[in-house]
Amino acid sequence: MPNHHAALDLLLLPTWLVPVEPAGVALKDHGLGIRDGRIAFIGPRADALKYPASEIRELPDMLLGPGLINAHGHAAMTLFRGLADDLPLMTWLENHIWPAEAKWVDEAFVRDGTDLAIAEQIKGGITCFSDMYFFPKVASERVHNSGIRAQIALPILDFPIPGAHDADEAIRQGVELFGELKHHPRIKITFGPHAPYTVGDENLEKIRMIAEELDASIHMHVHETAFEVQQSLEQRGERPLARLARLGLLGPRFQAVHMTQISDDDLALLVETNTSVIHCPESNLKLASGFCPVERLWQAGINVAVGTDGAASNNDLDLLGETRTAALLAKAVAGSATALDAHRALRMATLNGARAMGLENEVGSLEIGKAADLAAFDLSGLAQQPIYDPVSQLIYASGRDCVKHLWVAGKQLLDDRRLTRMDEQQLGETARGWGRRISGHTQ
């Protein structure tokens, strides 16, 4: 039992407390106490009120849970939202996105696009997100200033990208940034080789060695489409995942994003290496890339997290909506109504994301000693009534507009749906300015 004499900085008293760990639990009339940015107390309301607290907040009709974790995205691509819709992946990339990036992406673009993404995510209940985009140092600065938590994956490709002439330069910048931010309380630097078809064996081996040396994670698009797998079989005589296994990249620090194509051999490799899979259902649906067999992975014991992907292929950074889509899609793909129930879907959007990023001891569930990364969802609306299971209502009957408050490391970043550290009007004006320039209507 924590020391009764040590005052809490903040005591939250929601109607429902959903810790995620232990699984499947919704505690009624419990309180959560925060001290020094960490969870210091969880218990019945009556016990909670015995603690001295600098501030007590009642959260009536609210579900307090861990903040959502968006395990894959490209933050600054918010500025390309809706630019090239309704196209297949390779056409979308090669004819639209890559040329637009070559023309527009610079430090200012990444600064403004990342700010827009952070604001959208905070308002949507997300306390931690993974980002994989150009000028990662700029993105890190935006994360630092905003108060949110993030994993920054450094993009590495075999050809020049905005901010790096070649893979060697990108890797070098990555090692430097990793060193600079090694002790940052909210930022984790990882390596982001783009995809098996854009990074050759030599660079993948380099990345593996460096990641091992630094104990850093690797975040990579893998098996996003059937075409990618087919092309690899034709050109190399092996599936991309098998190639990554042969090169020694798979393992508990490897994050395989998308994985819409999974054979029995692929499944066995994921299981034996303890690799995490990051599922991006809406991007996969929109680009008609295929379906990740989430229930099959889950039943095999594979850690599956959820991500929105970038706003150019989704087109929102709404992880609550994404999780609902994931739950519905998992049932259709498995041909089973019991696949990915509401409680497991919420776990996928919280603790599984933390586990994929190697942050499960820090965030992802409400447990004493973990960082106070919290979201309060308002379930008082007519559309949520009546409430039999608050987690079901959150996943199946609520949108991100029910996100009311959000804290990261005990600091409140959203208060009654308002951003506490960012200027919403300014963000909107800046984004509209980029829109005018990119669409050629420069003022």
Q: Read off the pLDDT of residues 85-142 as tens digits, 9 standing for 90 and up.
A: 999 888 999 999 999 999 999 999 999 999 999 999 999 999 999 999 999 999 999 9
Domain count of the fold of the chain: 2
> Using an 8 Å Cβ cutoff, are 320 and 375 in contact?
no
Helix (H, G, I), strand (E, B) or coil at 189: strand
Residue 260 predicted with pLDDT over 70: yes
Tell me the pLDDT band of 440, cut-offs 50, 70 and 90: confident
What percent of the chain stands above pLDDT 70?
98
- Sequence-separated (6 or more) residues with CB below 8 Å from residue 59: 12, 13, 14, 15, 376, 404, 405
The pLDDT assigned to 165 comes to 95
- Give the residue from 157, 193, 195 showing the smallest Cα distance to 289: 195
Q: Which two tokens stand for residue 361?
A: 């001891």
Tell me the pLDDT band of 3, cut-offs 50, 70 and 90: low
Query: In this structure, is residue 431 part of a structural domain?
Result: no
Beta bridge partners of residue 192, listed in sequence order: 155
Does 49 share its domain with 76? Answer: no
Does 261 share its domain with 378? Answer: no
The CATH number that applies at residue 344 is 3.20.20.140
The pLDDT assigned to 14 comes to 98
258 φψ region: left (φ > 0), alpha (ψ -120 to 50), beta (else): left
Does 156 share its domain with 301? Answer: yes
Q: Which two tokens stand for residue 286?
A: 């929109």
Residue 5 predicted with pLDDT over 70: no
Residue 443 predicted with pLDDT over 50: no
Query: In this structure, is residue 1 part of a structural domain?
Result: no
In this predicted model, which residue has the larger pLDDT, 96 or 3? Answer: 96
Does 36 share its domain with 85? Answer: no
Span 185-202, average pLDDT: 98
d(CA 117, CA 96): 21
The sign of the dihedral angle between the CA atoms of 269, 272, 276, 279 is: positive
d(CA 396, CA 84): 30
Query: In this structure, is residue 442 part of a structural domain?
Result: no
The pLDDT assigned to 89 comes to 86
Q: 346-404, pLDDT tens digit by residue?
A: 999 999 999 999 999 999 999 999 999 999 999 999 999 999 999 999 999 999 999 99
Q: 294-326, pLDDT tens digit by residue?
A: 999 999 999 999 999 999 999 999 999 999 999
Does 38 share its domain with 74? Answer: no
Query: In this structure, is residue 362 part of a structural domain?
Result: no
Greatest distance between any 2 Cα atoms in the chain: 68
Does 59 share its domain with 78? Answer: no
Per-residue HEC secondary structure of 376-403 comes to: EEECCCHHHCCCCCHHHHHHHHCCHHHE
Alpha helices in 105-249 (DSSP H): 107-123, 136-146, 167-180, 201-214, 226-236, 240-246
CA 391 from centroid of its chain's CA atoms: 20
Concatenating the DSSP letter of every residue in 237-297 gives SS-HHHHHHHTT--STTEEEEE-----HHHHHHHHHHT-EEEE-HHHHHHTT-----HHHH
Residue 46 predicted with pLDDT over 80: yes
Does 55 share its domain with 86? Answer: no
Does 331 share its domain with 383? Answer: no
> Using an 8 Å Cβ cutoff, are 298 and 343 in contact?
no
Does 231 share its domain with 262? Answer: yes
The pLDDT assigned to 394 comes to 98
Does 136 share its domain with 259? Answer: yes
The CATH number that applies at residue 45 is 2.30.40.10
Does 220 share its domain with 272? Answer: yes
Query: In this structure, is residue 3 part of a structural domain?
Result: no
Q: What is the dihedral of CA 135, 137, 139, 141, to 10 degrees?
A: -150
Query: In this structure, is residue 274 part of a structural domain?
Result: yes
For residue 30, the 8-state DSSP code is: E
Query: In this structure, is residue 422 part of a structural domain?
Result: no
Domain extent, residue 17, equals 10-66+372-409
Q: Using CB atoms within 10 Å of the CB of residue 227, give its burial: 0 to 12 exposed, 13 to 18 middle, 19+ buried.
A: middle
Query: In this structure, is residue 392 part of a structural domain?
Result: yes
- pTM of the shown model: 0.97
Does 275 share its domain with 223? Answer: yes
